[in-house]
Chains A and B, each alone.
Chain A
Amino acid sequence: DQQVKQNSPSLSVQEGRISILNCDYTNSMFDYFLWYKKYPAEGPTFLISISSIKDKNEDGRFTVFLNKSAKHLSLHIVPSQPGDSAVYFCAASATQSPGARDDKIIFGKGTRLHILP
């Protein structure tokens, strides 16, 4: 049972345009959401996060939107650059849930983003 779902395995976007990566979750206890970026042969690196008390968080070219009622979040990258080509993982954790022993982060399967010249 996948608690974090990224339904698009890959996405191609023209350089300079906006990249939108989507993610859905099923666990209503999740209250903290993260995006990680992964290049080949490297570990994932943290990109941006959002707490459930907010609906938007922006950091430079990256913005994450959270729609709690739809259990949906998205990552917007604008403008897209060649170096943005990577696999993006959506992730979530339940930091405040009673009895949470470790608040482990649950990851989606990832979306491979290709930025086209």
Chain B
Amino acid sequence: NAGVTQTPKFRILKIGQSMTLQCTQDMNHNYMYWYRQDPGMGLKLIYYSVGAGITDKGEVPNGYNVSRSTTEDFPLRLELAAPSQTSVYFCASSYSSSGQGALGREQFFGPGTRLTVL
């Protein structure tokens, strides 16, 4: 199993450009998450998904969009990139039995995507 994979590893964007960060997991996990990590800070939750077709906002969703059309993939879309979106983005996944929520489940993280907006 590859676990959680993210592409690209690095990207430089100009202000106003858009891009999609890809995240794929092969563990058949139902929960998936997107976090951002700013320098010297912990991770903050952007969006999450409890299963295909279901997404919801986390703590810092502004400027981002997500979709979850399959169990495996959870892409993060940046529209009109801004310097404030310069960060390292981590995708994560976890598994929970139906109806039990993901509380306390270990989250498996991808290697991250380092994004710079100039």
Are A and B bound to each other? no
Q: Which residues of B does A touch, CB under 8 Å?
A: none
